[in-house]
Amino acid sequence: MGGDLEPGTLLEAYRAGYFPMPLGRRQLGWFSPDPRAILPAGGVHRSRTLARHLRRFEFTIDTCFERVVEACGDPARPHGWITPAVVEAYARLHHSGWAHSIEVWQDGELVGGLYGVSIGAFFAGESMFHRATDASKAAMVHLDGIMQSVEDSLVDVQWQTPHLASMGVVEVSRRDYLARLRVACRGPAPTPLLEAGPA
């Protein structure tokens, strides 16, 4: 409990296996679940319906980071935890090159996406949203394709859910996760994330 959302604090926490989540209006919690949910490289499950929908979408990286975070934090969504302070904190990380968004477009409209923190070959997925069928799944497929381009990559999705399990997410022990994390953080970042810049 406690701490702040300054860029240095966040990066140190992610490197140590923690992620933040506000608890109420004033408290900040730091979590390191056991087991931990990850998306294995190349492990995304593509149903026939998803494969068909993928052809309808276009993808970009970091073209509207704050719009993606704000969409993920829509107050109409149940169990929302993305406060204005969280949006501001991750926007600072984005503008310094540590946080990225993947945007999903259909007919010129932003219909889905995800955002997270990238350190070397490690990507900590924070949240995703969709306004069209399978748009958030499409964002995960695109992220998986990017992360497969480097060795020893690690995509963290924090906790397992039935939805994430259907996408190919698996659980590993915290000990295993931390070992993978140390290796991934020392690895090279995928070129698409290096070339993308703050919007």
Which DSSP category does 61 fall into?
A: E
* pLDDT given for residue 184 in this prediction: 98
Instruction: Give the whole-angstrom CA distance, residue 50 versus residue 138.
Output: 7
* pLDDT given for residue 125 in this prediction: 96
- Closest residue by Cα to residue 116 from 94, 136, 135: 94
* pLDDT given for residue 143 in this prediction: 96
Task: Tell me what percent of the chain is helix, strand and coil, each rounded to the nearest 5.
Answer: 35, 25, 35
Instruction: Give the whole-angstrom CA distance, residue 192 versus residue 177.
Output: 24
* pLDDT given for residue 75 in this prediction: 62
> Which CATH number fits the domain 34-195, given the four candidates 3.40.630.70, 3.40.50.2000, 3.90.1300.10, 3.40.50.720?
3.40.630.70
Alpha carbons within 13 A on the beta-carbon side of 136: 16
Helix (H) or strand (E) holding 153: none
What CA dihedral angle connects 41, 131, 89 and 116, to 10 degrees?
Answer: 0
* pLDDT given for residue 48 in this prediction: 83
Alpha-carbon Rg for the chain, nearest whole angstrom, is 16
CA distance readout (Å), 175 to 159, 180, 181:
15, 9, 10
- This prediction's pTM: 0.93
Q: Is 190 helix (H, G, I), strand (E, B) or coil?
A: coil
**Domain spans in the chain, listed from the N-terminal domain onward:** 34-195
The tokens for 171 are: 């659980």
Beta bridge partners of 20: 30
Q: What is the pLDDT along the chain (199 residues), one digit of tens a residue?
A: 888 999 999 999 999 999 998 887 678 899 999 999 999 998 888 888 888 889 999 999 999 999 999 999 866 655 556 888 899 999 999 999 999 999 999 999 999 999 999 999 999 999 999 999 999 999 999 999 999 999 999 999 999 999 899 999 999 999 999 999 999 999 999 999 988 877 6
